[in-house]
Amino acid sequence: MAPNAEPGPRPATLDVTTPEGTVLPFVQAGLFDRLAALAIDQLLILVVTVLLLLLVIFVFVPTLGVHALSFFLFTNFVLRNAYFPFFEMRGGGSTPGKRMLRLRVISRDGGALQPEQVMVRNLTREFEMFIPLTVLSAPRALFPDLPPWAALLCSLWMLVGALFPVFQRRRLRLGDLLGGTTVVSMPRVELLRDLAGEPTPQSSIGRVEQDYAFSSVQLDQYGIDELQVLEDLLRDEGGVDREKTLTAVMRKIEAKIDWDGPTNDFRAQEFLSAFYRQLRRHLEQKALFGVRQQHKRTGRLRRGGRGSG
Amino acid sequence: MADARFELRSATFRRERQASWRELEELLARIEASGLEVLSHDELTQLPLLYRSAVGSLSVARAISLDRNVVQYLTGLAQRAHLALYSGRRRPLEGVARFFRSRFPALVRSFRIPFAIALASLLAGVLVGFRLTQRSPEHYYHFVDERMAQGRTPASTTASLRAVLYTDKSNPTTGMLDTFATFLFDHNARIGITCLALGFAGGVPVILLLFSNGLTLGAMAALYASRGLGSEFWAWILPHGVTELLAVVLCGTAGLAFGAAILMPGPLARLDRLRTRGRDAGLLVLGAVPMFFIAALFESFFRTLVQDPEARWTAACVAAAAWAWYFARGPRGAER
């Protein structure tokens, strides 16, 4: 019913149990986030390389002569190979690109990310990235001596390494597999206003609750899923067609719980806030007594009776 | 329905705890920006307490609160704190130094068997290549391909073969030595990493690769030996060859160990075996990369600057002794 209900199946998680016995579900990063982070990092490397090249051409070549070339080659080698390990060790598992997309490398066993793990996971990068790129751009260059069919087979085999993350749920690269690491997505969640905490500013708690007092039979119609969808809806204050959506949702709830009190299209926000608050109280209380009602009941309440089904 | 005017239990819980959550959030933001070191002594002692309280709050929130935002917020907070606390942030250079000081030699010692197999494959290649070429020089063309030979064939004159071993210092290309070294290094390091990658195919290609490299070397040695230049040839190869061949063998060792983890996982699941063994194999290659670098420096500088065969032999022996000392030293039981 709400536009921003959580779509599809839940993403793969890595459950880390803390020494205190609490399970922390780390969400595996998606392929496209990782590709984007990689692109940003490569772009940074490219920019630094170009700057370095300019520096070499305009400063070092006049002073050092031919040695400038080897200086450039060596620095470039270090830059290409040390960039990822350096930032992943220093930045708590994030390169600048990963940081922008809120990705982090963690150890798959949930413990501390060791420097060794970082070194190993970045060792295969060249193999995973440049060989497949060569395969795609110039397949004949890689195996010049082989007959075409054999070259094709070999090229496909080379691609397997790069496509490894596509084929499993955890999206592990070969390097992740070797290093015992994985990349997780950690979007920043802000602590928002408690919708059931302080009363809504425009009306005192008493009045709203008096206007909208739902019976426990009525509240029984909905479960935790609907409560949280409603939470998303109420928090989504800048949503498109908000008034319309709120009114539509209000009408739906009214019909389902057979509400006969006064309602007004312009008061949808008030109605839904009150409903949210009371539903949450109701469900939390039920949960305390061991009944976690996850879903809504089917059908509608009939006047003076219980819901069917 | 209970009296609606009382505050929700979950709202009370949140009101009482949220100050400490905010405090933890602030500390974490600072740690993530610039490391644990920026915290003052008091803050550092506060951190574990705040973390434990956040984890506790998360457990409680999961049980009593149906406010999804709070549960998500606390999950993220606890995760960040967990990572900040349990990932002892080491300085990158320190980690690398530690690795080369103790971990790498220990690692090599723990791979004794695949190392022996890799070394044996290489030596077998050298021996076979040497004997076969000695018996019938045409074999040389099978073992050493044209690009590698660079005109050094059984048809060459002894004088031209000798000329390769000793560089003329007045040669104008001497100035390009460092460039040459960098190219060599890049090339060789890639070969080493390929060795590891070949491990995916079960290790057999690794043995073949080492063996065929050995054949080439053996065939060349035989060619030079047939002209009475055997000792001088080895004096030319070995000062850098000791390091380079050792690094190649180490990469081969890694490939073999990797292949073995795939073929013979033992009591563990294949993926678990790969994880423990594969990581070690990767580290082995990592340790070999600087060895290639050292070898490349020797190959381009030492070889051109030192022409005396005896000095070259001495350098080769010193290099061999140095590596033997490096890999054999250290308390054997102490490392993990």
SS3 A14: strand
Domain boundary among A185, A216, A246: A185
Domain boundary among B22, B57, B86: B86
Both B59 and B119 in one domain: the answer is: no
Confidence of residue B304 (pLDDT cuts 50, 70, 90): confident
The DSSP output letter for A306 is P
Overall number of domains in chain B: 2
Q: Does B295 touch chain A (CB under 8 A)?
A: no
Domain boundary among A151, A185, A219: A185
Both A111 and A147 in one domain: the answer is: yes
Q: Which domain holds residue A258?
A: 205-288
- Tokens standing for residue A242: 């908000």
Mean pLDDT across B23-35: 87
CB contact under 8 A, A89 and B95: yes
- B334: in domain: no
CA–CA separation, A116 vs B82, rounded Å?
20
Domain boundary among A156, A185, A214: A185
Kind of pairing, strands A103-107 and A13-17?
unpaired
CB contact under 8 A, A123 and B285: yes
Chain A hits for B300, Cβ within 8 Å? none
Give the amino acid at B142: H
Both A49 and A159 in one domain: the answer is: yes
Mean pLDDT across B154-161: 74
Both A142 and A256 in one domain: the answer is: no
Quote the pLDDT of residue B296.
81
- Contact status, residue B65 vs residue A78, Cβ threshold 8 Å: no
Confidence of residue B149 (pLDDT cuts 50, 70, 90): low
Quote the pLDDT of residue A42.
93
- Phi, psi of A183, rounded to the nearest 5 degrees: -105, 125
Which of B32, B60, B69 best tests the A interface by mutation, with the highest count of A CBs <10 A? B69
Quote the pLDDT of residue A308.
41
Helical segments of A14-124, H only: 31-55, 61-64, 67-90, 96-100, 115-123
Phi-psi region of A191 (alpha: psi -120 to 50; beta: other; left: phi over 0): beta
Both A221 and A274 in one domain: the answer is: yes
- B3: in domain: no
- B132: in domain: yes
Domain boundary among B53, B86, B119: B86
Chain A residue whose CA is closest to B197? A127
Both A35 and A158 in one domain: the answer is: yes
Provide the b/e sequence for A25-40 (b: ≥16 CB within 10 Å): ebbbbbeebbebbbeb
Chain B residue whose CA is closest to A280? B66
Helical segments of A91-199, H only: 96-100, 115-123, 125-137, 139-142, 148-163, 174-179
Both A121 and A228 in one domain: the answer is: no
SS3 B225: helix
Which of B12, B32, B67 best tests the A interface by mutation, with the highest count of A CBs <10 A? B67
- Tokens standing for residue B90: 């080491």
- B333: in domain: no
Overall number of domains in chain A: 2
- Contact status, residue B129 vs residue B224, Cβ threshold 8 Å: no
Both A171 and A137 in one domain: the answer is: yes
- Cross-sheet strand order for the sheet of A13-17: A13-17, A23-28, A181-185, A103-107
Chain B hits for A75, Cβ within 8 Å? none
Both B29 and B124 in one domain: the answer is: no
Domain boundary among B86, B119, B153: B86
Counting Cα atoms < 13 Å in the Cβ hemisphere of A156 gives: 5
Q: Does A236 touch chain B (CB under 8 A)?
A: no
- A130: in domain: yes
The pLDDT tens digits of the residues spanning A204-254 come to 444 555 567 777 777 777 878 888 888 888 888 777 788 888 888 887 887
Both B221 and B169 in one domain: the answer is: yes
The pLDDT tens digits of the residues spanning B199-234 come to 666 667 788 888 888 888 888 888 888 888 888 888
- A24: in domain: yes
% chain B with pLDDT above 70: 81
CB contact under 8 A, A287 and B66: yes
List, for chain A, all residue ranges whose pLDDT scores fall below the cut of 70.
1-10, 138-146, 157-158, 197-211, 265, 302-309
SS3 A92: coil
- Tokens standing for residue B276: 């423990």
CA–CA separation, B190 vs B279, rounded Å?
18
Angle between helices B204-226 and B177-198 (to 10 degrees): 140
Both B279 and B306 in one domain: the answer is: yes
- A3: in domain: no
- Contact status, residue B179 vs residue B187, Cβ threshold 8 Å: no
Both B305 and B180 in one domain: the answer is: yes
Both A156 and A235 in one domain: the answer is: no
- B59: in domain: yes
Angle between helices B177-198 and A67-90 (to 10 degrees): 40
Both B258 and B155 in one domain: the answer is: yes
Question: How far A142 CA lies from chain B's nearest CA (Å)?
Answer: 13
Nearest CB partner across the interface for B8, out of A26, A77, A281? A281
Q: What is the DSSP string of B156-168?
A: S-HHHHHHHHS--
Provide CB contacts within 8 A for A31, sequence distance 6+.
A165, A166, A171
CB contact under 8 A, B178 and A191: no
Both B137 and B25 in one domain: the answer is: no
Contacts of B30-38 spanning 24+ positions with Cβ under 8 A? B31/B84, B32/A92, B32/B80, B32/B84, B35/A90, B35/B89, B36/B84, B36/B89
Q: Does A205 touch chain B (CB under 8 A)?
A: yes
Both B120 and B77 in one domain: the answer is: no
Both B209 and B306 in one domain: the answer is: yes
ipTM score for this prediction: 0.79
Chain A residue whose CA is closest to B79? A24
- A149: in domain: yes
- A95: in domain: yes
Q: Does B73 touch chain A (CB under 8 A)?
A: yes
Both A209 and A181 in one domain: the answer is: no
- A196: in domain: no
- Contact status, residue A250 vs residue A263, Cβ threshold 8 Å: yes
- Contact status, residue B283 vs residue B100, Cβ threshold 8 Å: no
- A265: in domain: yes
Nearest CB partner across the interface for A191, out of B21, B178, B185? B21
CA–CA separation, A263 vs B89, rounded Å?
58
Both A260 and A131 in one domain: the answer is: no
- Contact status, residue A222 vs residue A287, Cβ threshold 8 Å: no
Both B153 and B105 in one domain: the answer is: yes
Q: Which domain holds residue B320?
A: 93-328
Both B36 and B79 in one domain: the answer is: yes
- Phi, psi of A44, rounded to the nearest 5 degrees: -60, -45
The pLDDT tens digits of the residues spanning B95-145 come to 788 888 888 898 898 888 989 999 999 999 999 989 988 888 887 887 776
CA B103 to chain centre: 11
Quote the pLDDT of residue B176.
55
- B193: in domain: yes
- Phi, psi of B293, rounded to the nearest 5 degrees: -65, -50
Both A176 and A257 in one domain: the answer is: no
A residues 45-74 lying closer than 8 A (beta carbon) to B: 65-67, 69-70, 73-74
- B108: in domain: yes
- Contact status, residue A199 vs residue B6, Cβ threshold 8 Å: no
Both A169 and A213 in one domain: the answer is: no
Both B186 and B280 in one domain: the answer is: yes
CA–CA separation, A305 vs A113, rounded Å?
60
- Contact status, residue A24 vs residue A16, Cβ threshold 8 Å: yes
Give the amino acid at A139: P
- Contact status, residue B284 vs residue B253, Cβ threshold 8 Å: yes
- Quote the pTM value: 0.76
SS3 A189: coil
CA–CA separation, B90 vs B88, rounded Å?
6
User: What is the length of chain B?
Assistant: 336
Chain B hits for A134, Cβ within 8 Å? none
CB contact under 8 A, B95 and A70: no
SS3 A26: strand
